[in-house]
Amino acid sequence: MFNAKVKSEVLKGIIDVTSPLVNEAKFNITPKGISLRAVDPAHVAMVDLQIKNKAFEEYKADEMELGIDMDKLASIMRLSSSDDMVSLEYDEDSNRLIIKIGNLVRRMGLIDTAGMPDPKMPNLDLPAKVVLKASELSQGVRASEAVSDHLALTVNKDSFELYAEGDTDTVNLKLPKKLLTELTVSSKCKSLFSIDYFSNMIKPVKGDDLMTIMIGNDNPIRVEFDIADNKGHVTYLLAPRIESE
């Protein structure tokens, strides 16, 4: 059994977090909430998403897995506005997810989860931690997209810095410690990342909402933030680009 009612914006948030990495996702349904973990086809990035049952207006569920086509779900949710209430129900007989928005009913065929992987979250010991408002960072990332396909992130005891270099132009964003909510670092850390992936990871975080970034030297980056009015949590991992000498 799976029966839930939820605001459209919560479902749209799940789509925004997941769809940039994968077209198909395995949703793990339990009485306590919904989780998913997926790796993109290039094995460059991973997403781990947890949504508590409190994020829903109504929620009743047994343990099950639902394989969902994210493009299909996104096309349905585009028909709703943020405050619309969306009803979700699993129909076991037809193996479909019944989605109701107002008077509209969509019966969506589900994907067999048997062949879908269960990636493990690696335990990374990353020496630097930065907590900052999304708005402080998004401007620099948008500017970087215009000049390069990768960016360098550097953390030292005084600041967090973003740098992108193209054929003719460069972009630099330096955030001193006083603009950051938290800065913890034992020694200077620097890693290089794909702008496309990194941009998609921070897009779901809006305005003054906080995000946590953990970084090392040529290590994967870990990006974390809350969604669904702090009733959901997202963790991304992104592999670094290693510069050839």
CA dist 129 → 182, 183, 220 (Å): 8, 6, 13
Residue 73 CA to residue 24 CA, distance in Å, equals 10
Selection from 122, 121, 127, 125 nearest residue 154 by Cα: 127
Q: Are 61 and 92 in contact (CB under 8 A)?
A: no
Percent of the chain residues past pLDDT 70, beyond the cut: 99
Alpha-carbon torsion, ordered 172, 16, 196, 171, to 10 deg: -10
Segment 73-87 mean pLDDT: 94
The model's pLDDT over 140-171, given as tens digits with 9 standing for 90+, comes to 999 999 999 999 999 999 999 999 999 999 99
Q: Which two tokens stand for residue 54?
A: 């409190």
Res 131 pLDDT > 50? yes
Do 128-238 and 2-109 have the same topology in CATH? no
pLDDT of the residue at 82: 83
Tell me the domain boundaries of the chain: 2-109, 128-238
The model's pLDDT over 19-51, given as tens digits with 9 standing for 90+, comes to 999 999 999 999 999 999 999 999 999 999 999
Mean of all residue pLDDT scores within the chain? 95
The model's pLDDT over 190-240, given as tens digits with 9 standing for 90+, comes to 999 999 999 999 999 989 999 999 999 999 999 999 999 999 999 999 999
pLDDT of the residue at 65: 96
pLDDT of the residue at 148: 96
Give the list of residues 6+ apart from residue 137 with CB closer than 8 angstroms, or none. 162, 173, 175, 202, 211
pLDDT of the residue at 242: 76
Whole-model pTM: value is: 0.94
Q: What is the CATH topology of the domain spanning 128-238?
A: Proliferating Cell Nuclear Antigen (3.70.10)
Q: Which two tokens stand for residue 13?
A: 């948030």
Segment 88-93 mean pLDDT: 97
| Matching residue, tokens 């005891």 | 157
Q: Which two tokens stand for residue 150?
A: 């990768």
Res 245 pLDDT > 50? no
Res 244 pLDDT > 60? no
Q: What is the CATH topology of the domain spanning 2-109?
A: DNA Polymerase III; Chain A, domain 2 (3.10.150)
pLDDT of the residue at 158: 95
- SS3 label, residue 135: helix
